[in-house]
């Protein structure tokens, strides 16, 4: 299938309800040549069939159906059974972060366009952590909050302790966003050990729309299998830095050793289901986040690529062409954000 190089300067027409309605000036849009192919290659591996009767919009052009945002703030909840409004979830950190991002909140800035999601990803494996925060623009991590589970001495972490930790995380989030807004690279818990780890976030918000609730889990299973076939480690963790101030007694020591963090594998793909990102009628929807130091290609490093109408048969092509080769698949492309924070569209 021929690969073409195209300039992507056209303004997307869709603005997410998570953001300001102000549209940036056209000169702020990416005008860089990116390699692309018109169709997703046919899979070589066995794929689960796409369920019928989902009422997917197969005719409306996908180009431009992507929000314009500066940072994608993802709350790591370790599960995907969120209510329709994620701020009503039992994970109170979601509501606190949303409030902090709104006018009058501690993380609000009039020129900031954050996108907020919940994710089924987890901060650390096999530990009683309730939640954490990952930022995919810029690529940083601010983790995590202890859960209501036995602690170092068999003590259940109390509500007050958890609330203090959550408030501390929001302070760290504000620091990271303020640094980024000033045009400097964030040095607040940067994704050093995971700097070579990409992520694929798949909408699986069943309480919001069953189409994504049905397709999302199927796509994640297919993704995990394809990554294994390609020799890429797929996981559902977003690992923290060992020197994060919250990684101290009683929250962390005794659960996972610092030496285990140091050996966290690179060249991996973290994947998970996320909450509503718009465009349910275009299910399945997913975001491919390629970090600035991605080992497989440099063409799309630092970019976030949004795809829609993704079926299990497309997953292998997305892994090979976009993750490994740095090529955009036009028939699935909703839009994206480049490494400079400028929108991309076909």
User: Taking 90 as the threshold, does the pLDDT of residue 165 lie above it?
Assistant: no
In a 10 Å sphere around its CB, with 0-12 CB exposed, 13-18 middle and 19+ buried, how is residue 297 labelled? middle
Quick check: bond before 144 cis, omega within 30?
yes
Q: What is the pLDDT of residue 111?
A: 87
Please state the rounded mean pLDDT for residues 95-116.
93
The answer to whether 101 and 107 are in contact (CB under 8 A) is: yes
Quick check: bond before 176 cis, omega within 30?
no
Task: Give the predicted TM-score (pTM) of the model.
Answer: 0.82
Q: Which residue has the higher pLDDT, 160 or 43?
A: 43
Q: What is the pLDDT of residue 30?
A: 57
Q: What is the pLDDT of residue 281?
A: 95
User: What gap in Å lies between CA 323 and CA 300, rounded to an integer?
Assistant: 8
Q: What is the pLDDT of residue 239?
A: 53
Q: Give per-residue pLDDT as tens, 208-220.
A: 999 999 999 999 9
* pLDDT classification of 340: cutoffs 50, 70, 90: confident
User: Taking 80 as the threshold, does the pLDDT of residue 334 lie above it?
Assistant: yes
User: Taking 70 as the threshold, does the pLDDT of residue 327 lie above it?
Assistant: yes
Q: Which residue has the higher pLDDT, 210 or 177?
A: 210
Q: What is the pLDDT of residue 183?
A: 43
Q: Give per-residue pLDDT as tens, 57-103.
A: 999 999 989 999 988 999 988 889 999 999 999 888 899 999 999 99
Instruction: At 235, give phi and psi (nearest 5°).
Output: -150, 165
User: What gap in Å lies between CA 44 and CA 314, rounded to an integer?
Assistant: 11
User: What gap in Å lies between CA 98 and CA 114, rounded to an integer?
Assistant: 10
* pLDDT classification of 279: cutoffs 50, 70, 90: very high
CA angle 336, 329, 21 (to 5 degrees): 25
User: What gap in Å lies between CA 283 and CA 3, rounded to an integer?
Assistant: 26
**Range with the lowest mean pLDDT among 245-254, 275-284, 297-306?**
245-254
User: Taking 90 as the threshold, does the pLDDT of residue 307 lie above it?
Assistant: yes
Q: What is the pLDDT of residue 24?
A: 42
Q: Which residue has the higher pLDDT, 221 or 7?
A: 221
Please state the rounded mean pLDDT for residues 190-199.
57
* pLDDT classification of 270: cutoffs 50, 70, 90: confident
User: What gap in Å lies between CA 63 and CA 330, rounded to an integer?
Assistant: 9
Q: What is the pLDDT of residue 4?
A: 63
The strand order across the sheet containing 328-329 reads 4-7, 33-37, 328-329
Q: What is the pLDDT of residue 144?
A: 62
């Amino acid at each position: 299938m021929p690969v073409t190089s195209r300039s992507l300067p056209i303004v997307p027409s869709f603005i997410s309800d998570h953001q300001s309605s102000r549209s940036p000036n056209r000169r702020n849009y990416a005008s860089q040549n990116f390699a692309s192919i018109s169709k997703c290659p046919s899979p070589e591996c066995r794929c689960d069939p796409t369920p019928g009767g989902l009422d997917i919009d197969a005719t409306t052009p996908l180009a431009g159906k992507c929000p314009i945002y500066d940072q994608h703030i993802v709350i790591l909840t370790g599960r995907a059974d969120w209510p329709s409004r994620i701020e009503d979830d039992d994970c109170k950190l979601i509501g606190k972060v949303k409030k902090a991002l709104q006018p009058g909140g501690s993380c609000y800035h009039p020129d900031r366009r954050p996108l907020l999601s919940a994710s089924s990803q987890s901060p650390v494996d096999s530990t009683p952590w309730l939640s954490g925060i990952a930022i995919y623009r810029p690529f940083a991590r601010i983790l995590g909050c202890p859960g209501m589970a036995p602690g170092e001495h068999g003590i259940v972490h109390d509500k007050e302790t958890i609330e203090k930790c959550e408030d501390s995380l929001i302070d760290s989030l504000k620091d990271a966003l303020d640094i980024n807004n000033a045009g400097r690279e964030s040095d607040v818990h940067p994704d050093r050990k995971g700097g070579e780890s990409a992520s694929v976030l798949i909408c699986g918000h069943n309480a919001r729309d069953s189409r994504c609730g049905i397709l999302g889990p199927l796509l994640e299973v297919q993704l995990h299998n394809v990554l294994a076939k390609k020799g890429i480690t797929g996981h559902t963790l977003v690992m923290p830095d060992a020197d994060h101030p919250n990684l101290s007694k009683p929250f962390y020591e005794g659960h996972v050793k610092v030496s285990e963090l140091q050996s966290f594998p690179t060249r991996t793909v973290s994947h998970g289901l996320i909450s509503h990102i718009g465009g349910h009628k275009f299910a399945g929807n997913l975001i491919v986040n390629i970090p600035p130091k991605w080992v497989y290609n440099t063409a799309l490093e630092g970019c976030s690529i949004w795809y829609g109408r993704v079926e299990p048969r497309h997953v292998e092509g997305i892994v090979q062409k976009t993750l490994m080769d740095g090529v955009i698949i036009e028939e699935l492309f909703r839009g994206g954000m480049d490494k400079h924070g400028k929108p991309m569209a076909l």
